[in-house]
Structures are given as C-alpha cells and as structure tokens.
C-alpha cells in the first residue's frame, strides 16, 4: 500500500462521517467540523488557469470551493471531493488569478468587499505531487464510499468517472 493510500484511508477513518459520502453530506459535515460556512460555487474557466479542475480558498471565517461552471456532473462531484480532501488532510487553501477571484467573490458574496475577503484568505502556490496524490486518492475513496450501493453509480457514470480520473491520476 502506498503512503498516499495509507494516509487517505487514515483520514477517511478519522473523518467520522456516517453514511454515504455524498457531496452534500461532506460539505455539511466539514462545515460543522471546521465551525464555519463552506460554500461550493462555480467559476469561469479563466479562474482555473493555474489549477487542474478546482480550487479551495480558506479563511478563519469561510471556506470556498470552486469548480468550473461547465464541468460534467460526475467530474464536478469528484473535483469537489478532491478539494474537500485537501481540507480533510489538513492541507492549506489555494490561490488563483486575483481579478477573476474578485469577480467570483462579488457574485458569491455580494454584501462583502472582495478586497477585504481576499485579504483574509490563506494562499498556497502549489501543493506538490505528494499532497495532490493524497487528495486524489482520498477523493476516489470518498467517491467509492458514496457508490457502494451498485445502483448509485450506473454504467455511464462509472465510465465517465474512470475516463475523467485516468488523466488526473497519470498527471499526479
């Protein structure tokens, strides 16, 4: 067993989530654990210029997970699980293009000044291969846990997930 797999399985065991690992259940569970709101939002493709498929921004008062607005639903859910896996594994939040972030924050949090929000967000430039591999393995384990009932993930969805993950696993 690889160290990434071992670390992901340990994190999954420690998570304390009961029942399927649906995206909604994970978001709710992590928001409670982290004692702050956790929002999942879509963003334009330009937002992801320096990242693969998703991004997570964290602050002391809020977590924001972003996925491409045009993402396939199966890949979207896996990408969200990947970003949530970074939280579960206690990695740090992400960084992205400032102008695009301001635009997205203005849409997501219209009552707050985007510059104030950006100033409170922790940033990272790159997790590195090991952390990305851990997050990808944990996201895959979460997807499998959600799909343990064979009827939950049909043949088309399973094939779409295999196809979407094949490129990500080769890159990581």
* Contact predicate 53/68, CB 8 Å: yes
List the domain boundaries for the chain. 3-171
- The residues, ordered by sequence, that sit 6+ positions from 15 with a Cβ below 8 Å of its Cβ are 29, 88
Taking the complete model, does pTM exceed 0.85, yes or no?
A: no
What is the per-residue pLDDT for 81?
95
Distances (CA, A) of 4 to 16, 59, 133, 163, 164: 19, 26, 6, 21, 20
Structure-token pair, residue 155? 């043949």
Q: 78-90 pLDDT, tens per residue?
A: 999 999 999 999 8
Q: Which two tokens stand for residue 35?
A: 């004692």
pLDDT per residue as tens digits for the range 99-148: 656 666 777 667 767 666 665 554 444 456 788 889 999 998 898 887 66
């Amino acid at each position: 067993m690889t160290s990434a797999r071992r670390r992901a399985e340990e994190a999954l065991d420690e998570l304390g989530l009961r029942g399927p690992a649906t995206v909604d259940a994970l978001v709710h569970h992590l928001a409670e654990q982290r004692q702050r709101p956790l929002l999942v939002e879509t963003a334009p493709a330009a937002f992801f210029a320096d990242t693969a498929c998703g991004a997570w921004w964290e602050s002391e008062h809020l977590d924001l997970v972003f996925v491409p607005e045009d993402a396939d639903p199966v890949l979207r859910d896996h990408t969200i699980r990947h970003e949530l896996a970074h939280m579960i594994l206690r990695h740090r939040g992400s960084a992205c293009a400032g102008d695009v972030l301001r635009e997205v924050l203005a849409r997501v949090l219209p009552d707050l000044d985007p510059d104030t929000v950006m100033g409170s967000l922790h940033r990272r430039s790159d997790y590195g291969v090991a952390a990305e591999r851990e997050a990808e393995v944990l996201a895959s384990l979460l997807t499998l846990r959600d799909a343990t009932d064979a009827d939950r993930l049909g043949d088309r969805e399973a094939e779409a997930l295999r196809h979407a993950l094949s490129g990500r696993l080769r890159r990581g």
